[in-house]
Amino acid sequence: MACRYELKEILLTLDDLGLSLGGKAILSGVSACVRNVTRPGVLQGQIVGVLGPSGVGKTQLFRLLSGLSHPDRGRVLVGAKQQPVARGDVGVVAQAYPLFEHYSVLDNLMVAARQHGLSKAEARTQANAMLARFALQECASAYPATLSGGQRQRVAIAQQLIRPKPLLLMDEPFSGLDLAMVREVCALLAEISLHNEELTTVIVTHDINAALSIADTLWLLGRPRAPGGKTEGARIVHTIDLMERGLAWHPDVMHAPEFESTKREVEQRFAAL
C-alpha cells in the first residue's frame, strides 16, 4: 500500500519547548519537526495526530503552537520561512466551533476575510469560494444555531482557511461523533490536505482509530519519570511515521493488516504514557 513520497524543507519546528504553571512542569523538552511531503502528481499537505492521556498537557501544547501562549523556553517556528509563531498566524479550530451566532454563514466567512484586509467585494468572492469548496452553498444565509455539528465544523474550518496559513490546529475534531461522522470528517481533512502542499494540519485527539486513518505522522505525548520516580513535564515520547509504514493517504486503510498491528502498538504505548 506504500505510496512514493519525498520529504523536503521543514514547515513546522518545535524547538525544546518548556512550560511550567504554578511551579509545576507541564511541558519539558518538546522537540519535533514536520517536513514538506511531496508526492508525484499530487498536492500533498501534512497531517499530524497528537495523542496523549487526559491532563498530560495537550491543551497547553495546542496553545503554544497557536501563539496564544508563550513557552518559558524554546520556540515554535512555522512555514517555509520558519518564522516564530504569533497569534493570528495560524488557523485554530476549537472544539466548540465558535462562530458569530448573529451573523449568517456567508457573513461569518466575510468577517474572517475582511480581518485579513480584503475589500468587501474580495471578501465576498473568497467567502463564496469557500462555501463551494466545503459544500455549504445551501447554508449561506443560515445562522449558526440552525446548523448541524458537521456543518458548524466545516464553517469553522473554512473561516480559518479563507486566507492561506501555514498551520491549521484542530482540537478534538472527532469528539462526540458517531462512526459515520468520524469518517466524514476524516474525508474532509484529507480533501483539505490536497489543496495546499505547505499546509500542515495538527490534530489533537483521543481517537486512535481516527488519528491512524487520517494522519501521516503520530506524536505520542507522555510524561517520562526521572530517577526517584519524580514525574517530569510532558514531551513527545514516541513518533510514529505512518508514511514509512505504508499507512498514509489510503481511504480504506482501516482494512489493512498493518493498521491493526499499528493500532495495537499505539494502544500499548498509550497505556504507558
Those residues whose C-beta lies under 8 Å from the C-beta of residue 214, and which sit 6 or more positions away, are 47, 49, 186, 189, 190, 203
With bands split at pLDDT 50, 70 and 90, how would you rate the model's confidence at 85?
Answer: very high
Is 90 exceeded by the pLDDT of residue 79? yes
91 conformational bin, left if phi > 0, alpha if psi -120 to 50, beta if neither = beta
40 conformational bin, left if phi > 0, alpha if psi -120 to 50, beta if neither = beta
pLDDT digits (tens, 9 = 90+) for 101-142: 999 999 999 999 998 888 999 999 999 999 998 889 999 999
With bands split at pLDDT 50, 70 and 90, how would you rate the model's confidence at 38?
Answer: very high
Average pLDDT, stretch 163-191?
88
Q: What per-residue confidence (pLDDT) applies to 1? A: 59
With bands split at pLDDT 50, 70 and 90, how would you rate the model's confidence at 67?
Answer: very high
Q: What per-residue confidence (pLDDT) applies to 226? A: 67
With bands split at pLDDT 50, 70 and 90, how would you rate the model's confidence at 175?
Answer: confident
| Amino acid at the residue 134 | F
For 6-90+166-271, CATH gives 3.40.50.300
With bands split at pLDDT 50, 70 and 90, how would you rate the model's confidence at 58?
Answer: very high
Which of 13-22, 83-92, 111-120, 226-235: highest mean pLDDT? 13-22
Domain residue extents for the chain: 6-90+166-271, 100-164
Q: What per-residue confidence (pLDDT) applies to 270? A: 83
Instruction: Specify which residues 186 forms β-bridges with.
Output: none
Is 80 exceeded by the pLDDT of residue 159? yes
With bands split at pLDDT 50, 70 and 90, how would you rate the model's confidence at 197?
Answer: confident
For the sheet with 24-38, list strands across it. Answer: 24-38, 6-21, 73-78, 83-84
Q: What per-residue confidence (pLDDT) applies to 140? A: 95
Residue with cell 474572517: 112
